[in-house]
Amino acid sequence: MASISARRLAKELHEIQTEGCPVGINLLQADDFAAWQFTIEVMGESLYQGEVFTLLFRFDKHYPISSPAVQFVVTDGKTSPVHPHVYSNGHICASILGNEWSPVLSVIAVCLTLQSMLASCKKKERPPDNDRYVRHAPDNPKKTQFHYDGNSP
Partner 1 sequence: MQMSTGSKKRTIEQLAATVSDSTDFPDIDTAPGLRTLDTALRCPICCELFSGPVTLRCGHCFCSLCIRGSLAQKQECPSCRKGEENEGHLRVNPVVEEAVEAWSKARPFILQLLHRGGRLSGSNSSSESGPSNKRKRSNPDSDSDIELVAPPSGHKTGIGSGTVFSKPQEPMLAASPAETPCPVCGKTVKHEIINQHLDSGCKTFHLNNSKTAWSKIMGPRVDPGKNKQTQAKGKERSLSVEGEALPKVSYDTLKDKQIKQLLQDQGLATLGNRALCIARHQKWVMLWNSNLDKAPKNRKSKSQLRSDLDQWLQEKHESKSKVVVEDTFGHQKKYESEFKRLTEEARPKKAVSSQLSDSREATSSEAKYTDATSSTSSPVKLLSQSPQSPHHDGDNNEIEVL
Residue 30 CB contacts under 8 Å (≥ 6 apart), including other chains:
13, 16, 36, 37
Nearer to partner 1, 125 or 139 (CB): 139
Contact between 76 and 60 under an 8 Å Cβ cutoff? The reply is: no
**40 contacts 21 by C-beta, under 8 angstroms:** no
Smallest gap from Cβ 7 to partner 1, in A, equals 6
Give the closest residue to 152 by CA, choosing from 126, 118, 128, 125. 118
Distance of CA 4 to the CA centre of its chain: 22
Q: Active-site residues: which are they?
A: 93
Distance CA 92, CA 20 (A): 25
60 lies in the site for partner 1, by CB under 8 A: yes
Instruction: State the minimum distance, in angstroms, from the CB of residue 39 to partner 1.
Output: 19
Using CB under 8 A as the binding rule, whether residue 99 contacts partner 1 is answered as: yes
Number of residues that bind partner 1 (CB under 8 A): 45
Q: Which stretch binds partner 1 (CB under 8 A): 43-51, 75-83, 107-115, 137-145?
A: 137-145
- Residues at the interface with partner 1 (CB under 8 A): 1-4, 6-15, 17-19, 30-33, 60-62, 64-66, 98-99, 102-104, 129, 132-133, 135-140, 142-145
